[in-house]
Amino acid sequence: MIKFLDLKKINEQYKDELNEACSRVIDSGWYIQGTELASFEEQFAQYCGTKYCIGVANGLDALTLTLRAWKELGKLSAGDEVIVPANTYIASILSITENDLVPVLVEPDPQTYNLSIEGIKNATSQKTKAILPVHLYGQISPMDEIMAYANSHNLLVLEDCAQSHGAQIANKKCGNWGDAGAFSFYPGKNLGALGDAGAITTNDESLATTLKALRNYGSHKKYENLYQGVNSRLDEIQAAMLSVKLKYLDAETQQRQSVAKAYLEGINNPLIKLPTVVEQVGHVWHLFTIEVEDRDRLIAYLTEKDIQTLVHYPIPPHMQQAYKGVFTGEYPITENIHNNILSLPMGPVTNIKDIEWIIESLNNFS
């Protein structure tokens, strides 16, 4: 079976270094909020080009705590509207509702699957206070236009960078465009830990300070609590794993880009719609998604040929039981994407013979 993503094979490449890093933490006798976290935060901030990086327990907390911090800082209040793409992974929307803010779902650009400036303009109201662009599947949203619009309308921007580590426009990386960027280091993400982890990047000192308190019981100083915070810390072991893997992120991205190039050049079947690349450098190919009307039949056909595929995602957030009755709008573009989208095997260790077999199989599908 050609695996959709071979995590074991990816991490095996770095096994000696990962073991060494793990031993270092065991031997240190210090397991939470120590030098490994501080070191990873510094390296990741530098990688993204931001002043600050704040490690947290996962990507959802990175999003949720940033919005929470803006509430604590008086920049947002309950009932404020946040513009978010309707076709995102549910985490982006959960972070908004968890904070008693109001998600305004916007249909994406059907070519890029990301927010468009027109969509944002049409969704802006008196109550709009923030935009939450999601760089879906690894392609960065039009951040230059979004920031110009946000600045002229006094809106906060929180980038959901969970799928887009290292994606950039004009040499400026995601996480450094908005007021803050939220990252997930879930094992299957482009930069993946060996467990759960996440982080926020920002250039805003007051936001960074507030987040550091919120992730640790709202405490900025031992036994003193400024906020009713949470426990959402990135532990030393995962920080050490991430420091090892960060060194290889750009090389892995290049491998993903060459797989994407082979797919884009090789797949030539009128039944299959290929993804649109706005700017080559802007895409880090977390996922390579195609669209096909007869998806179930294509999945069965590929399974027969030993090719594993996945659907990201089968049910849009507005149709989930969790949000029953909450969203009353019509989202035909989003529903169409969810009905037709299919993710092909993609990763930094995908072998070229396998890619050739996948392309040949797709081209023979009729």
Q: Which one of residues 25, 76, 84, 91 is an interface residue with ligand PLP (CB under 6 A)?
A: 91
Minimum distance from residue 270 beta carbon to ligand PLP (Å): 30
Q: Which one of residues 41, 107, 160, 291 is an interface residue with ligand PLP (CB under 6 A)?
A: 160
* Cβ–Cβ under 8 Å, residues 76 and 67: yes
- For position 59 contacting ligand PLP by CB under 6 A, the verdict is yes
Minimum distance from residue 189 beta carbon to ligand PLP (Å): 6
Q: Which one of residues 66, 87, 88, 168 is an interface residue with ligand PLP (CB under 6 A)?
A: 88
Q: Which among 9-17, 46-54, 73-81, 157-165 is the span making contact with ligand PLP, rule CB under 6 A? A: 157-165
Q: What are phi and psi of 179, to 5 degrees?
A: -70, -25
Q: Which among 74-82, 155-163, 334-342, 358-366 is the span making contact with ligand PLP, rule CB under 6 A? A: 155-163
Minimum distance from residue 4 beta carbon to ligand PLP (Å): 15
Residue 82 pairs in a beta bridge with 103, 130
Q: Which one of residues 60, 130, 140, 194 is an interface residue with ligand PLP (CB under 6 A)?
A: 60
- For position 159 contacting ligand PLP by CB under 6 A, the verdict is no
Q: What angle do CA 268, 272, 276 make, to 5 degrees?
A: 85
If the CB atoms of residues 184 and 350 are measured against ligand PLP, the closer one turns out to be: 184
| Selection from 257, 97, 65, 262 nearest residue 180 by Cα | 65
In the residue annotation, 353 being an active-site residue is answered as no
Measure the CA–CA gap between 137 and 274, rounded to whole angstroms.
13
Measure the CA–CA gap between 331 and 328, rounded to whole angstroms.
9
Measure the CA–CA gap between 275 and 281, rounded to whole angstroms.
15
Minimum distance from residue 286 beta carbon to ligand PLP (Å): 8
Q: Which among 7-15, 86-94, 137-145, 252-260 is the span making contact with ligand PLP, rule CB under 6 A? A: 86-94
What SS3 state is found at 271? coil
CA torsion sign, 20 to 25 to 28 to 29? Answer: negative
What SS3 state is found at 182? strand
Q: Where are the extended beta strands (E) located within 148-218? A: 156-160, 168-169, 172-173, 180-184, 198-202
Measure the CA–CA gap between 169 and 283, rounded to whole angstroms.
9
Q: How many CB atoms lie within 10 A of CB 325?
A: 5
- For position 162 contacting ligand PLP by CB under 6 A, the verdict is yes
* Residue type (1 letter), 101: L
- For position 58 contacting ligand PLP by CB under 6 A, the verdict is yes
Give me the catalytic one of 129, 189, 212, 245: 189
Between the alpha carbon of residue 206 and those of residues 58, 107, 202, 237, 357, the distances in Å are 21, 33, 10, 28, 52
Q: Which among 30-38, 109-117, 158-166, 301-309 is the span making contact with ligand PLP, rule CB under 6 A? A: 158-166
Measure the CA–CA gap between 197 and 168, rounded to whole angstroms.
22
Minimum distance from residue 220 beta carbon to ligand PLP (Å): 25
Q: Which one of residues 50, 128, 141, 184 is an interface residue with ligand PLP (CB under 6 A)?
A: 184
Among positions 97-136, residues that touch ligand PLP (CB under 6 A) are 134
- For position 198 contacting ligand PLP by CB under 6 A, the verdict is yes
- For position 285 contacting ligand PLP by CB under 6 A, the verdict is no
Q: Which positions touch ligand PLP (CB under 6 A)?
A: 58-60, 88-89, 91-92, 134, 160, 162-163, 184, 186, 196, 198
Active site residues: 189
